[in-house]
């Protein structure tokens, strides 16, 4: 995965990486090496603010080699005030829906695959 990210950055393509906010993925040696080489920007997204029904947070790292100071995902940052009724996070009778992913994330994934 990191090799693909480095290739895309070398070609001048903006990239994003997404995983759960508290995932150990962010602390793996290959991701830490990537962050050391390319500072990029971190963005936290709360899914309930984008159509999800649970208090799930995702963390994104993004890097735009053509505009280093721009956080390309900044407009997606929003957190619930705590006044929103959300379903509990975790095991439910409908696990497929418990991991609801906002529609724009599917588009991001397709762009990264190109």
Prediction pTM value: 0.65
- Distance CA(111)–CA(36), nearest Å, equals 24
DSSP 8: H
> Can you count the helices (H) and strands (E) in the chain?
4, 3
pLDDT at 114 over 50: no
Q: What is the pLDDT of residue 2?
A: 87
Mean pLDDT, the chain, rounded, equals 74
Domain that residue 17 falls in: 2-113
Closest CA to 14 of 58, 57, 73, 56: 73
Could you tell me the pLDDT band of residue 84, with boundaries at 50, 70 and 90? low
- Distance CA(108)–CA(90), nearest Å, equals 25
Per-residue model confidence as pLDDT tens digits over 26-73? 999 999 999 999 999 998 887 555 555 566 788 889 999 999 998 887
Indicate the number of domains in the chain: 1
DSSP 47: G
């Amino acid at each position: 995965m990191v090799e693909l990210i480095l290739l895309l950055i070398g070609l001048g393509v903006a990239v994003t990486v997404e995983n759960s906010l508290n995932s150990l993925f962010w602390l793996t040696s290959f991701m830490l090496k990537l962050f050391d080489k390319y500072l990029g920007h971190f963005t936290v997204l709360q899914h309930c603010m984008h159509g999800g029904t649970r208090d799930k947070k995702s963390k994104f790292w993004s890097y735009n080699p053509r505009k280093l100071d721009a956080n390309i995902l900044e407009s997606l940052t929003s957190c619930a005030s705590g006044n929103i009724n959300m379903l509990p996070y975790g095991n439910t009778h409908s696990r497929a829906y418990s991991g609801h992913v906002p529609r724009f994330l599917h588009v991001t994934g397709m762009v990264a695959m190109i």
